[in-house]
Amino acid sequence: MATVKEFRNNVRPNWCPGCGDFAVQAALQRALGNLNLEPENVAIVSGIGCSGRISGYVNAYGFHGVHGRSLPIAQGVKLANRDLTVIASGGDGDGFGIGMGHFMHAARRNMDMTYIVMDNQIYGLTKGQHSPTSAFGFKAKTTPAGNIENAISPLQIALAAGITYLAQGFSHDVNQLTELIQGGIEHKGFSLINVFSPCVTYNKVNTYEWYKQHVVHLEDFPDYNTADRSAAMAKVAETDGLCTGLVYHDDTRKPFDQLIQGYKPEPINAQNLTLEREMFDKVMEEFA
């Protein structure tokens, strides 16, 4: 059985020292190890950004796609081989900026996969422009006078899109993050783990310290019911999106991949591709 070690490779991440993404990588590797998955049965699809490099840093099948499109690629992978554990990941710009449409649709489509967003409220790789999660008033390269757009709340939009597993982590707490990712992978359906993953180079506002001061832990609310969608909505609004832990979980819905008409338990990529002569003739006859 594989352990966390098997998910490590020999590549030294090219993230800046202190970047929050290191912790995300570690948590993902731990989660995969804890679940006793084999590296060859895991596919990690990522977008473009500092965060997007993660697919190259875990020993597993990795696909570093184009900016904002990790989810469509990941869904294609899952369609072709539903035996795989499919992880999609990338940054806040990648996922909630250019990739926003795909995210909303992936959430409602509910394929069985896990999406990890490294949310640093900035565009890191392109050197510090504001992102869709940058707060109103935030100063970045592209908002020298302060951001005049309102930030997207990843948790709110995920709930509104009908997500079935929603969690939020923080790079400072790898243990919690590992658990949340693990839960997402175990969940049969689409899961989002949004991670506060500070960009130490370009975001001088939303630092580790800042998050530590602002974040509340959902575990601190013993009455909080993660199966109650309205409660989740309310809690997210109440905490201004700054809560970590499992936000919502609906395990009553079947994932897309099991609802497909003509669903066969064997994955598509394992099928014999030859069309039987009998069927060929039958289909052809329909045109006569």
Partner 1 sequence: MLQELSWKVGGQQGEGIDSTGKTFATSLNRMGYYIYSYRHFSSRIKGGHTNDRVRISTSQKGASADFLDILLAFDQETIDFNGHELRSGGIVIGDAKFSPVLPADIAQGVRLFSIPFTKLAEQSGAAIMKNMVALGATARVMGLEPTFCAPVLQSMFGRKSQKIVDQNLGAVQAGYDAMSAEGGDFPEFQLSPPVPDKHLLMIGNDAIGFGALAAGARVMPAYPITPASDVMEYLIKKLPLVGGVVLQTEDEIAALNMTIGAAYAGARALTATSGPGLSLMMEALGLAGMTETPVVIVDSQRGGPSTGLPTKHEQSDMFAVLFGNHGEIPKVVLAPSTPEECFYATIDAFNYAEQYQCPVILITDLALSLASQSVKPFDYDAVTIDRGRLATAEELAQTEQGQMFKRYERTQNGISPRSFPGQKGGIHHVTGVEHSEIGRPDEIAGNHTAMMDKRLGKLRNIELPNSVTYTGEANPDVLLVGVGSSAGPIGEAVARLNQEGLRIGHAHVKVLSPFPVKTLQSYLAKAKQVIVAESNGTGQLLQLMRLSGLMHAEMSSFLKYDGTPFLPNEIAAQVKGSMLAWQR
Ligand X SMILES: Cc1ncc(C[n+]2csc(CCOP(=O)(O)OP(=O)(O)O)c2C)c(N)n1
SS3 288: coil
How far apart CA 283 and CA 130 sit, in angstroms, is: 55
CB 173 within 8 A of CB 215: no
User: Where along the sequence are the contacts to a second copy (CB under 8 A)?
Assistant: 97-102, 104-105, 108-110, 132, 144-145, 148-153, 156-157, 159-162, 229-230, 233-234, 237, 253, 256, 259-261
How far apart CA 41 and CA 163 sit, in angstroms, is: 24
Decide which of partner 1, a second copy, ligand SF4, none touches 120; Cβ closer than 5 to 8 Å per partner kind. ligand SF4
Decide which of a second copy, ligand SF4, partner 1, none touches 160; Cβ closer than 5 to 8 Å per partner kind. a second copy
Q: Which of residues 158-187 bind ligand X (CB under 6 A)?
A: none
Residues in the chain: 288
Amino acid identity of residue 138, one-letter, is F
Decide which of ligand SF4, partner 1, Mg ion, none touches 92; Cβ closer than 5 to 8 Å per partner kind. Mg ion
- Applying CB under 5 A, does 97 fall inside the site for Mg ion? no
User: Where along the sequence are the contacts to ligand SF4 (CB under 6 A)?
Assistant: 15-16, 19, 21, 50, 120, 124, 199-202
- Applying CB under 5 A, does 120 fall inside the site for Mg ion? yes
Q: Give the nearest distance from C-beta 271 to a second copy in angstroms.
A: 19
Residue 78 vs residues 71, 74, 222: alpha-carbon distances, Å: 10, 6, 36
Residue 43 vs residues 103, 159, 210, 226: alpha-carbon distances, Å: 18, 25, 33, 28
Binding site for ligand X (CB under 6 A): 48-51, 67, 90-94, 118, 120, 122-126, 131, 199
